[in-house]
Amino acid sequence: MNVEVRATGLRTMRDRHHLTQRELARRLGVTQNYIPALEAGTRNPGPKLRQSLMQLFNCDFEDLFLVVMVNPVDHREQILKPEREVKAM
């Protein structure tokens, strides 16, 4: 199985913060073409970029990203859901 981290919430978060793709790319130090590729799901952000995005938008991992397991043989996908925190009483 291959694990992919997809930036499924990036466009929503970018819109919420009134940033263009160009401005976001400039702030992150990536090429302008990289942001639409992230938003379309054709590229997946690495750990450093994920951390930079969470810091920039001051949000949690789950607000921006979806973790997907992909079977390399048949390309079937399984979305991994975060475990819910159990609060002590």
pLDDT at 14: 97
Exposure pattern of 41-62 as b/e (b: 16+ CB <10 Å)? eebbbeeebbebbbebbeeeee
25 occurs within a structural domain? yes
31 occurs within a structural domain? yes
**CATH code (residue 12):** 1.10.260.40
User: What type of residue sits at position 15?
Assistant: D
76 occurs within a structural domain? yes
- From first CA to last CA, the distance across the chain in angstroms is 38
- 3-class DSSP assignment, residue 65: coil
Question: In the predicted model, what is the mean pLDDT of residues 11-26?
Answer: 97
Tell me the pLDDT tens digit for each residue of 29-53: 999 999 999 999 999 999 999 999 9
